[in-house]
Each structure stands twice: as C-alpha cells, then as structure tokens.
Amino acid sequence: MFRKNDKDRNLKKIFQIEDYFNWHKMSEQQKINLKRACLFPFFALIVYNFLSEFTYAILLLVCIYLLIRFKNRRRISK
C-alpha cells in the first residue's frame, strides 16, 4: 500500500520558509518571487490610496468619454 522503498525520492517543496531565511543559497527565481511577494502589499496600498482619492474624477472622465463617443457614433470618419 505504501512505498517504503522510495525514501530517497526528491519531493518538490511547497512551503519554503526555511529556504527564505538563507538568502545566499536561494536561486535567482526564488529571490525574484520573494521580492514580488514582499512588495505586493505596498503596491496594493498605493493603488488603493490612488483610487480612493481620484474615484470621482476617473468616473467623470469615463462618462465624458462615453458621452462623446455616443454622440459621435453616427458620423462617418475617414
């Protein structure tokens, strides 16, 4: 039922917290993934602050764009 003979088989690590503590032994791809994971909350906070500050201005610009597009849809352009 269980494979007791395959103990030397290499398994892929899913949770690699031990690897992240040792920066020098990490591969380049692991370093990039760690940097992305650490910087994502800051990026999300910047986007959230921007959208909370300029939501009405963005909606107004989109409405004006759609209104102009709706009014000019019957015109033939070259």
Give 75's pLDDT tier (boundaries 50, 70, 90).
confident
Query: Residues of 43-64 as b/e, b for ≥16 C-beta within 10 angstroms?
Result: eeeeeeeeeeeeeeeeeeeeee
Tell me which of 15 and 23 has the higher pLDDT. 23
In a domain, 23, yes or no: yes
- Sign of the C-alpha dihedral, residues 18, 21, 45, 61? negative
pTM surpassing 0.85?
A: no
Tell me, what amino acid is at 44? A
In a domain, 21, yes or no: yes
**Domain range for residue 34?**
17-71
Tell me which of 33 and 74 has the higher pLDDT. 33
Give 65's pLDDT tier (boundaries 50, 70, 90).
very high
In a domain, 22, yes or no: yes
Instruction: State pLDDT tens for residues 16-59.
Output: 677 777 888 888 888 898 889 889 999 999 999 999 999 999 99
